[in-house]
Chains A and B, each alone.
Chain A
Amino acid sequence: MSNPAFEDIPGTYVFTGERAMEGRHLNRFCMSLMNAANRIRFKADERAYLDEWPMSEVQKQAVMNRDFKALVEHGGNIFFVLKIAAVDGRPTQSVAASFAGQSTEQYAAMMRNGGRSPVGLRSIAGRF
């Protein structure tokens, strides 16, 4: 269900079967935010809404802290967890920036300058 070769790629989360299993309810929760009535309920009391889903405490905390790195590490699929950002009106660039600990401004400037270079970021074992 996985592919060990992906583990050699630094700072990269491929959404494998293992991650899908761990993130099953987290991603279902994210999908529920596509419904306007659910968004209102979530915003009114995040904790109470999260408690309706059989998610781990770590996942719930990650949602409340908007810790996207933790969300993806614990089974969140990027396109699903981005729905939490959409509820907040937060742009995708701001989420992407948070993974590398950059400010949105730093990240946007990096993108305008051609993006993050792959040099040295392709392979942990091969160091290239």
Chain B
Amino acid sequence: MARITAGIGSSHVPAIGAALDGGRTGHPDWAPIFAGYEWSRRWVAEQKPDVVILVYNDHASAFSLDIVPTFALGCADSFQPADEGWGPRRVPVVQGHSKLAWHIATSVVLEEFDLTIMNEMKVDHGLTVPLSLMLGQPDEWPVKVIPLAVNVIQYPTPTANRCFRLGEAIARAVKSYPEDLNVQVWGTGGMSHQLSGERAGLINREWDTRFLDQLTSDPDALRTMSHEEYVREAGSEGMELIMWLTMRGALPPKIRELYRFYHVPASNTAVGHVVFTPQA
């Protein structure tokens, strides 16, 4: 049977992808960030996950505002990198896992989580930057990916609690999948940042640190936090952190934090990264 063996949280800042693709990983602005992911790159390579369920948001790439799905699950065999205005990132095509994705869709919709099913979807930096950070620059991604796109750019966004409970439902779905698969769930976005308004450039290190602590010690505090609290403390785009709660919800109550990295800034954003495993 399929098993969720780890949860990973990571920012997905587009400028990180641009620095990587442009060969600027040694630049003083970027070198500390890539160094901060080295441990995880080695760890993920050792763990050899079969599938990553990658929770992220689209940034006006696959979705215009014509259709705004709250949760959209990628059920396709493959997902092309999106052209975000300067040509698609030169990264491998993302290979999906249709069978597991359809199993998850069926299971969670019957549990009354009304997902949108995506049989065709381009994926932007929200999905490919975490892949690059965790897997480096291979010719082909060594893992299959099930994208879960969450609306965090058009209010009303789902509540933190809804994101968490969807993670719990995904965990039940994975557990009931008959094939033996090593599955990881990655929650991406954040940490504190705000791109517009007079508060643009907001960074809240203290709050971010508490968020990272509470993922292990008190996830209930995070899942019951209001949208306005997320925006007030972590900035309008810091709202993305609700996507980390889907990852947390997919893990059991007791987890172990294996690794943590926090760095300010990547362009406009505080970079946060954690690796969790279930604790028996």
Knowing A9-B228, A87-B85, the reply to whether A15 touches B197 (Cβ < 8 A) is: no
Contact partners of A31 in chain B: CB under 8 A: 60, 64-65
Instruction: Spot the interface stretch: A16-24, A44-52, A59-67.
Output: A16-24
Whether the Cβ atoms of B153 and A15 lie closer than 8 Å is: yes
Give the number of residues in A that approach B within 8 Å (Cβ atoms). Answer: 53
CB under 8 Å from chain A, chain B span 53-75: 59-61, 64-66
Contact partners of A6 in chain B: CB under 8 A: 155, 227-228, 231
Contact partners of B227 in chain A: CB under 8 A: 3, 5-6
Knowing A10-B198, A28-B64, A77-B153, the reply to whether A114 touches B205 (Cβ < 8 A) is: yes
Complex-state Cα separation, A117 to B233, whole angstroms = 10
Knowing A9-B231, A78-B195, the reply to whether A115 touches B201 (Cβ < 8 A) is: yes
Complex-state Cα separation, A95 to B34, whole angstroms = 25
> Does A14 count as interface, using CB distance less than 8 angstroms?
yes
Q: How large is the interface on B (under 10, 10 to 19, 20 to 34, 35 or more residues)?
A: 35 or more
Contact partners of A80 in chain B: CB under 8 A: 60, 65
CB under 8 Å from chain B, chain A span 48-86: 68-69, 72, 77-80, 82-83, 86
> Does B204 count as interface, using CB distance less than 8 angstroms?
yes
Overall SS of chain B's interface:
loop
Among A78, A97, A114, A118, point to the contact of B264 (Cβ < 8 A).
Answer: A114
Whether the Cβ atoms of B195 and A100 lie closer than 8 Å is: no
Contact partners of B207 in chain A: CB under 8 A: 118
> Does B267 count as interface, using CB distance less than 8 angstroms?
yes
> Does B210 count as interface, using CB distance less than 8 angstroms?
no
Complex-state Cα separation, A15 to B235, whole angstroms = 13
Most buried by B among A34, A68, A97, A110: A34
Whether the Cβ atoms of A111 and B196 lie closer than 8 Å is: no
What residue in chain A is nearest B154 (Cβ atoms)?
Answer: A15
Knowing A79-B59, A80-B60, A111-B265, the reply to whether A14 touches B155 (Cβ < 8 A) is: yes
CB proximity of A79 to chain B, nearest CB, Å: 4
Contact partners of A92 in chain B: CB under 8 A: 14-15, 195, 267-268
Whether the Cβ atoms of B64 and A99 lie closer than 8 Å is: no
Among B155, B195, B198, point to the contact of A2 (Cβ < 8 A).
Answer: B155
Complex-state Cα separation, A50 to B214, whole angstroms = 48
What residue in chain B is nearest A17 (Cβ atoms)?
Answer: B155
Most buried by B among A2, A17, A96, A112: A96
Complex-state Cα separation, A80 to B66, whole angstroms = 13
Whether the Cβ atoms of A100 and B201 lie closer than 8 Å is: yes
CB proximity of B273 to chain A, nearest CB, Å: 17
Complex-state Cα separation, A1 to B265, whole angstroms = 33
> Does B199 count as interface, using CB distance less than 8 angstroms?
yes
What residue in chain B is nearest A4 (Cβ atoms)?
Answer: B228
Whether the Cβ atoms of A99 and B59 lie closer than 8 Å is: no
Knowing A12-B197, A107-B201, the reply to whether A122 touches B65 (Cβ < 8 A) is: no
Among B59, B196, B198, B267, point to the contact of A93 (Cβ < 8 A).
Answer: B267
CB under 8 Å from chain A, chain B span 170-184: none
Contact partners of A122 in chain B: CB under 8 A: 232-233
| Other contacts beyond A11-B197, A86-B84: 5, CB < 8 A | A3-B155, A13-B196, A28-B64, A93-B267, A118-B199
Task: Give residues in B with beta carbon < 8 Å to A.
Answer: 14-15, 29, 59-61, 64-66, 83-86, 153-156, 192, 194-205, 207, 226-228, 231-233, 235-237, 264-265, 267-268, 270
The 5 A-B residue pairs whose C-beta atoms are closest, nearest first, are A115-B203, A11-B198, A86-B85, A5-B228, A11-B199
- Pairs A–B under 8 Å by Cβ, sample size 13: A11-B199, A12-B236, A17-B156, A20-B65, A31-B65, A33-B85, A79-B153, A96-B200, A99-B198, A110-B201, A115-B201, A115-B270, A121-B199
